[in-house]
Amino acid sequence: MDLVDKTIVITGANSGIGLETARALAASGARIVMACRDAARAEAARADIAATTDAARLEVVPLDLAALGSVRRCAADLVARHPRIDILINNAGLFPFRKRLTADGFEMQFGVNHLGHFLLTQSLMPSLQAAGAPRVINVASMMHHLGKLDFDSFRGEKPYKPIRAYGQSKLCNVLFTRELARRHQDDGLLTWSLHPGPVGTNIMGRSLAARTLYRLVGAYMSPRRGARTSVWLAGADGIEATSGSYYDEYCKVKPGSKLSQDMALAARLWETSERLVAG
């Protein structure tokens, strides 16, 4: 697919997989909007990409997925400035070792990895649908196989177990994708979730200890390699029939976990998420 002059919004584009996704898609001639929480790191990333691409096609916007008010402000600004958004890549994510809550009182991994992206996608729908055949790409993880949905844990009510919370948030990504595809099967919107591979990023934190631990548990792949499936899904032709599917790091469709295929669970998560972002 020709990406020249396409507008692509990427969350968490200032480092790791998001940065390399932005770099690759900017080189294709697309207009890249880098939606990031840390303004200084985002500007540094923009300058880094601009050194080898057209700086005029790179834009930074503030987005804190841990605050629903920030998500709403970012989306309103984007819709006003970009009446057509061709591709949204929900890439940002985190994996804190200790229990934390978002500004709105949600368990941090659920709030950032799923709920913030859910609200962003819904809020950008006017510009996405104006594109005619928009694409929404959700970066999940094979860790969703370890996930179960505990609807009583979304506000951190249960004892915090980081791996359980991460698996739950990534399961939410896959379920959200499937339900998004079902709800838009007749209007041209296409969506996929993906496992980027065991990538060495700062998802567990920026400290040396956190980054070292992440590599020790098997995160050996480079962010550039980890961006491959996101980049491929953004531009591949002939994959329309797979909308709603879960892809692996080799750009192959995988079934995902049994729970991730439960459409009744996907619908319940969607309806719950709508209530939660409504306040």
Helical ranges in the chain per DSSP H: 16-27, 39-50, 68-81, 108-109, 117-123, 125-129, 162-183, 208-216, 223-226, 228-235, 263-277
Q: Which of 166, 214, 246, 247 is catalytic?
A: 166
| Cα 219-58-30 angle, rounded to 5 deg | 85
Q: Is 160 labeled as catalytic in the residue annotation?
A: no
Q: Which one, of 172, 190, 169, lies nearest residue 241 by Cα?
A: 190
Burial of 182 by CB count in 10 Å (0-12 exposed, 13-18 middle, 19+ buried)? middle
Hunting for tokens 């998802």 — which residue is that?
A: 203
253 near 247, Cβ under 8 Å?
A: yes
Q: Is the dihedral of CA 166, 92, 29, 41 positive or negative?
A: negative
Extract the tokens encoding 205.
């934190």
Measured CA to CA, the distance from residue 9 to residue 124 in angstroms comes to 10
Write out the catalytic residue numbers.
166
